[in-house]
Amino acid sequence: MNRLDRLDRRRALLAGIGAALAAPAVRAQPAWPARPVRIVVPYAPGGGTDVTNRAIAEGLGRDLGQPFIVENRAGANGIIGAEAVARSQPDGYSFVAPNGTHAMLRHITPQLPFDPIADFTPVAMLASYCFVLVCPANSPFRSTQAVIDRAKEKPGELAQGTADVASGYVASRFARAAGVDMTEVRYSGSGASVGDLTGGHLPLAWFSTATAMTLLPGGSIRALAVTSPRRSSFLPDTPCLAELGVGEATYTGWFGLFGPARLPEAITDRLNASINAVVQSAAVQERLRSLAVETYITTPAEMARTVAEDDQRWAQAIQEGTLRRG
């Protein structure tokens, strides 16, 4: 064997050894999750989105063996927190947990720094809620029809309080469906309108089920209707808008979880399965029912369809004037 043959054999041997050494390194990649996972809630602490995610995050930590840390990054209708996740690596360690206004952002915000659909990977719906049309307990309104009748008698004089763009959309759709002219009074949050409503300075308001259920037991307000497609399990004696002939204003909000675009399917599916298991656990069920939100079992594809349907809803709302641009 000449010298060149010996060199070729040596190179082949070294290459084989290198490949053999490298192969275990590929197989030894740690399974996800190998370290704490961040869930960005793009709103202030203490709200329904925040509390819901904290309850579920505790269960995910137990189920998947790593802490799921909720981080509040509030501001600009959820844009700041969502943008942070949209720009993160799709490695399964950063997620955002917005509510149903997520797809709305592209329709109400000029120069939005991300695409709410293309820049995210839907993982699961966590829970849903509806709005409740309420009035003070001593109000003369005993029904939604009484509200409509008064609004027809005095166009533009009857005020309805709202707390965000979603409740504002519901208020506008309600007036449109009823064929009446009402005045929307936008507050900085539902808490800000409670005093005016219970003090008799505001005749009507649209509260989330979570807010309404904290006030109804005390007898300070009266529920007139809910925006869910069917009666809410939390308010079984309160009719839904569809029963009252104004189903055009039906609306169900949601809390969801999204990763950045191109999140690996294996991570998406594993996290989805864990979420669905956690929200069915007795402890989380009890906690979420105390927040007056309904839990759902969904696939990533179903969550994607929900967002796409919302996107169409908000586009139509802009055209008809029931949703205002920012």
27-53 residue pLDDT tens: 555 799 999 999 999 988 887 889 899
Question: What CATH number does domain 130-249 carry, 3.40.190.10, 3.10.20.30, 3.40.50.2300, 3.40.50.1820?
Answer: 3.40.190.10
- For the chain, residues classed under CATH 3.40.190.150 are 37-128+253-320
Task: Tell me if 37 sits within 8 A of 259, measured CB to CB.
Answer: no
Burial of 266: CB neighbours in 10 Å, binned 0-12, 13-18, 19+: exposed
Low-confidence spans in the chain with pLDDT less than 50: 3-4, 7, 13-14, 17, 19-26
Which of 70, 278, 322 has the alpha carbon at shortest distance from 174? Answer: 322
Res 23: pLDDT: 46
Task: Tell me if 125 sits within 8 A of 256, measured CB to CB.
Answer: yes
Question: What CATH number does domain 37-128+253-320 carry, 3.30.200.20, 3.40.50.150, 3.40.190.150, 3.40.50.2300?
Answer: 3.40.190.150
- For the chain, residues classed under CATH 3.40.190.10 are 130-249
Task: Tell me if 207 sits within 8 A of 136, measured CB to CB.
Answer: no
SS3 223: strand
Token digits for 206? 């649209």
Report whether the peptide linkage leading into residue 36 is cis, meaning its omega lies within 30 degrees of zero.
Answer: no
Neighbours of 239 (CB within 10 A): 15
Res 103: pLDDT: 92
CA distances from 192 to 138, 144, 162 (A): 20, 23, 10
